Amino acid sequence: MSKLSQLAETLIGSEIVRLGNEIAVRVNRGEKIYNYTIGDFDPQVFPIPQELEDGIVNEYRNKQTNYPPGDGLLALREAVASFIKDKEGIEYTTNEIQIASGGRPLIYSIFRAIVDAGDKVIYAVPSWNNNHYTHMNGGEHCVIEAHLENDFMPTAADIAPHIKGAALLCLCTPQNPTGTTLAKTELEKICDLVLAENRSRGEDEKKLYVMYDQMYFTLTYGDTQHYNPVALRPEMKEYTVFVDGISKAFAATGVRVGWSMGPAKLIGKVKALLSHIGAWAPMAEQKATAKFLMQKDAVDRYLVTIKNGLEERLWAIYNGIAALKEKGYPVEAVAPQAAMYLTIKIDLKGMQAGDKQIETQADVTEYLLSEAKLAIVPFYAFGADKSSPWYRLSVGTCKMDDIKEMLGMLEAALQKLMVTANN
Residues 283 and 306 in one domain: no
Q: Which residues contact 21 (CB under 8 A, 6 or more apart)?
A: none
CA distance 129 to 107: 10
Give the domain extent around 313: 6-46+301-422
Residues 40 and 23 in one domain: yes
What's the pLDDT at 421? 59
Using an 8 Å Cβ cutoff, are 98 and 277 in contact?
Answer: no
CA distance 212 to 209: 9
Residues 124 and 56 in one domain: yes
What's the pLDDT at 101? 98
Residues 287 and 381 in one domain: no
Nearest to 232 by CA among 265, 279, 187, 202: 187
Residues 288 and 306 in one domain: no
Residues of the chain with pLDDT under 70: 1, 419-423
- The residue from 295, 321, 338 where one domain ends is 295
* CATH label of the domain that carries residue 29: 3.90.1150.10
- The residue from 295, 310, 330 where one domain ends is 295
Residues 17 and 77 in one domain: no
220 part of a folded domain: yes
Estimate the crossing angle of helix 283-293 against helix 296-326, to 10 degrees: 90
Estimate the crossing angle of helix 400-422 against helix 296-326, to 10 degrees: 20
138 part of a folded domain: yes
What's the pLDDT at 356? 82
- The residue from 276, 295, 314 where one domain ends is 295
DSSP 174: S
**99-137 residue pLDDT tens:** 999 999 999 999 999 999 999 999 999 999 999 999 999
* CATH label of the domain that carries residue 148: 3.40.640.10
| Helix ranges, 15-114 (H) | 15-28, 50-61, 74-88, 103-114
**326-345 residue pLDDT tens:** 999 999 999 999 999 999 99
Residues 310 and 287 in one domain: no
Residues 283 and 360 in one domain: no
What's the pLDDT at 25? 87
Residues 13 and 69 in one domain: no
Residues 377 and 282 in one domain: no
373 part of a folded domain: yes
- The CA-CA-CA angle for residues 366, 370, 376, to 5°, reads 55
What is the pTM assigned to this prediction? Answer: 0.95
CA distance 280 to 311: 32
1 part of a folded domain: no
Residues 291 and 182 in one domain: yes
Using an 8 Å Cβ cutoff, are 110 and 260 in contact?
Answer: yes
Residues 99 and 197 in one domain: yes
Structural domains in the chain (count):
2
